[in-house]
Structure 1
């Protein structure tokens, strides 16, 4: 294979375990079918209301979106802003600065996904 992972130091069992643990933590927080899609839509659109967010993510139910937004808010990726001074009350969701730290990860996943799809098409395997 042309792409190999090069570590700064020789990988020990302890180091490997640490990397696996870190990846597990990351996947736990942003894994699943919807979380990265929600983060991407929020980053592209700025302030967005619930129904508009749901329209931008095809196939997600209101219940699932609500639960995912709560999880993302608990982990600091989304901020929920309530405009109570307006009637009816308006609720918007905003991507936090912390969620923007995922941009390199999202871009790397996007690049990898594109290459993988091309490999499948070209029957590299």
Structure 2
């Protein structure tokens, strides 16, 4: 019984918010890859289509609109932990212009992938907490 109480004391000492933030940040690359892959398909995180380029001269094609001309915008993706989750932001100077033109949902984990991301983040969080006990 004392061993169980010792473990409960260790659990109580864990800063869960800090562990959650740390776990999210450890998986930032995987999270932002979901965002890049959706853009590769020409889709926003809500699954809606980004449309087509106005001229084939721009990228040698009309579709998909992938928002990847120089790579600077997509390379600037970062994850910001929030209570109960995270948001994806971009620090590139074109971010506001692109969101105005294509919508806020160009940033984010695709709706169809949210459950998968949530499951492996949960597994990573459980492993982290278990390691600390």
The reply to whether TM is greater than 0.5 is: no
Which structure carries more relative contact order (alpha carbon 8 Å, separation 6+)?
2
TM-score when normalising by structure 2: 0.27
TM-score when normalising by structure 1: 0.29
